[in-house]
Amino acid sequence: MYQGLDQSPKGFSICYKVLGIPNLRFQATDDQIKRAYRQKVLKHHPDKRRGQGEEILNDDDYFTCITKAFETIGTATKRRAYDSVDPFFNDEVPDVIKDNSKDFLKTFTQVFERNARWSNKKNVPKLGTEESTRDEVDKFYKFWYDFDSWREYSYLDEEDKEKGSDRDERRWIEKNNRVQRNEKKKEEMKRMRKLVDNAYNSDTRIAKFMENDRAEKAAKKQAKQDAIRERKEAEEKEKRDAEEKIRKEKEEKEKIETERKAKEKAEKEAFKKAMKNEKKIIKNRCKDTDYFSTNPDEKVQNLTDLDRLCEILNLDELKMLNGNMKDKSNDEAKIVFIKAVNDLNEKLEIENLEAIEKATKVKTNSRLKKPMKNHNY
């Protein structure tokens, strides 16, 4: 009953058992541990037991076990080292589970809840359910991939540095212990990383989110391609419309030009026909009257004047001349003819004089603009 306290991993539960709280173990609060210790001290103090006639051994006394147990789990640092190597803790990591969300959630939820006890941070996120949002799932994995564990392995130190004979030996022992602790810590970090990786690779929600991402990415890509295609089609349509507009405008211009030329040609043909007709009328009238004379010389002169009238007079003037000669006697027609010849001669004479006057004026102005020569005396 009063054997020494076993400090090995196999004796892990002894400290809590010695203090009478084996069921609480790592879940016991500091107050619960202190209260349990006081109760045990009151009950098993050597003085009290001697008074009851009990023999007390110096090293293997049960009270010594109580004291050692409280020294181990009664202070935060030593208790953390002690709890870190809990032999009842299941360190196993489940394998990757494929295509079964129920088995995944059932298996890994328990494992993460079990490992949450090592977290330095409070409010450890839960694995959640099949209906968990992407934000909740992302926060969960971010927390566990960045997991901050307080678990350490000083309780498993092979040598106690305090047993070193001098300072150098104690330093050497502490260095070796630190190396071993770091190795165990690295192994623990690998275990936690494997746990999170296996959970992530088993999580059907991640697969669903990734599928949604691919679908969303494909939709965005398709939308972008559709936008490019629509823009290209719009540009091509705009180009076709512009080309069609130019073509129609060109056709319209060509049509108008063709119609203008046709109209101009028709008008020209009509004008030529009208001129030809009016010239024919006056020529026939003069021919019918033997050119208004029996005198050969006068006849020749009248014929010459007729040609000049037909050449110089415009259509309206010819029409007016033919109208004035129409239904007139030969003598009256001759008077009209001679008047027309005289009017034409007078008009030509006036135009000739105006041209001479204009030319003279231009020549005079040009001469006046020339600089005068300087006279040297």
Comparing 9-84 with 267-366, is the CATH topology the same?
A: no
Q: C-alpha angle 182/170/175, rounded to 5°?
A: 20
Say how far apart CA 69 and CA 172 lie, in whole Å: 28
Is the CATH code 1.10.8 the one for domain 267-366?
yes
CATH of domain 9-84: 1.10.287.110
The answer to whether residue 260 scores a pLDDT higher than 70 is: yes
Residue 149, phi then psi, degrees to nearest 5: -100, 140
What pTM value is reported for the model? 0.57
- Give the mean model confidence (pLDDT) for residues 212-241: 93
pLDDT at 234: 94
Residues listed for the chain: 377
Beta-bridge mates of residue 149: 119
Q: How far is CA 105 from the centre of its chain?
A: 38
Name the band, by pLDDT with cuts 50, 70 and 90, for residue 9. Answer: very low
Domain ranges of the chain: 9-84, 101-202, 267-366
Q: Are 328 and 336 in contact (CB under 8 A)?
A: yes
pLDDT, tens digit, for every residue of 84-132? 898 889 999 999 988 777 889 999 999 999 999 999 999 999 999 999 9
Say how far apart CA 230 and CA 237 lie, in whole Å: 10
**Lookup: tokens for 30:** 């500091």
Say how far apart CA 18 and CA 65 lie, in whole Å: 7
